[in-house]
Chain A
């Protein structure tokens, strides 16, 4: 059953881009993300992405909308488009929360 995704802060019509405040590197097929920090307490924040996360991260280029990325996920991982949207919203919301991605003020494509 599809989950209610209407209250998520991420708009799938918008085009996220990778934040310049994050350093990423692919290690044996999986990405690690390291947020830059200006205080000692924030240093230990580092994120490992699984294969799906790595796939989505690589599609975040400031051009692809969230919806387009979800369609790519559906095609790549053979899941329903609805499920891919839910997964993308969840993941993009997490990335936004840790400031690993940003959105343009115009919210991307109409």
Chain B
């Protein structure tokens, strides 16, 4: 086996994922992530190997998509990624998600698989798992840096996150869009919940390294008239939880994520934002944010 000599680092929020591999392409990220590449740091350290991964242990979670999670020996977790019945990539990580190995065998026969082992969703999942353990929260949301701080517009697919980003970009072009699909929240500073942009964008392709103090939480719902309705913190925490990406099979880590949702919901005002796809949505969000300040 060739010793890994190439290194690439992706920084999201304050967390650095360092990938090591035998050549540049196997650990590369798409061009859009360039602003997130850094030279130092190693919070999550993985090495890519061109061979098959270990045999999966006890099944913990079936995503009903491309990936599954398995419990391995010595408290390691194995994430597998499949096309059909074939595992084309797997990641064996330690319990804290600080160090691990990526197994990325060469495609058999004439097949031509992806050249890099670090592409979505693996890269994002490594961050998500680590953040869940550290008390941070990645939220399915659009983030906008407004005058009062970051406004977070959370919603499931189709709720209007990219639409919201486009509205702000059109009517308030001086405002920075942190992301139109994934925003990282860090509540560890008792003074303020921090919000960070991420490289994992939505349909609007908004992704930024910008960050700011989280001012207001909104949960999106499309409507004919724009209005914001204040939510009880428990309702906000529950809505927030269903828009995060917790390791729901793991009781301890899930409890930490639930606690993080509760902490944020108790500290940051939250609203249901029914919105029409025009500038009234921006006005309604600003009014609500100002009323809660």
**Which residues on A are within 8 Å of B, measured CB to CB?**
20-21, 23-32, 34, 36-44, 46-48
Contacts and interface: CB of A to CB of B under 8 A. Distances in A.
B149 interface: no
A47 B237 CA distance: 11
Sorting the interface of chain B by its residue count into under 10, 10 to 19, 20 to 34 or 35 or more gives 20 to 34
A40 B254 CA distance: 15
B22 interface: no
A44 B258 contact: no
Contacts of B266: 27-28
A32 B260 CA distance: 13
A27 B240 CA distance: 12
A38 B61 contact: yes
Interface in B59-111: 59-65
Q: Which 3 A-B pairs have the closest CB atoms?
A: A30-B234, A28-B233, A27-B234
A102 to B, nearest CB: 15
Interface string B226-240: 000000111101100
**Residue among B65, B234, B242, B249 with max Cβ neighbours from chain A (10 Å):** B234
B237 A23 contact: no
A27 B265 CA distance: 8
B241 interface: yes
Contacts of A38: 59-62, 249
B251 A48 contact: no
Given A25-B255, A37-B61, 4 more contacts: A23-B251, A32-B262, A40-B62, A42-B248
A37 B248 contact: yes
20 contacts: A21-B251, A23-B251, A23-B254, A24-B258, A26-B262, A27-B234, A27-B265, A28-B265, A28-B266, A32-B237, A32-B241, A34-B254, A34-B258, A38-B249, A39-B61, A39-B64, A40-B63, A43-B242, A44-B242, A46-B242
Interface of B is mostly: helix
B259 interface: yes
Nearest to A32: B238
Contacts of A29: 234
Nearest to A29: B234
Interface in B234-287: 234-235, 237-238, 241-242, 248-251, 254-255, 258-259, 261-262, 265-266
A67 B51 CA distance: 60
B252 to A, nearest CB: 9
Contact of B248 (A25, A26, A30, A36): A36
A38 to B, nearest CB: 6
**Taking each of A24, A32, A46, which has the highest tally of chain B beta carbons within 10 Å of its own beta carbon?**
A32
A62 B10 CA distance: 48
A80 B248 CA distance: 40
A36 B64 contact: no
A40 B262 contact: no
Given A25-B262, A38-B249, A40-B63, A31 B234 contact: yes
A42 B62 CA distance: 10
Nearest to B247: A36
Contacts of B234: 27-32, 48
A72 B103 CA distance: 57
Nearest to A21: B251
A25 B249 contact: no
A29 B262 CA distance: 11
Contacts of A24: 258
Contacts of B64: 39-41
A27 B59 CA distance: 32
Contacts of A23: 251, 254-255, 258
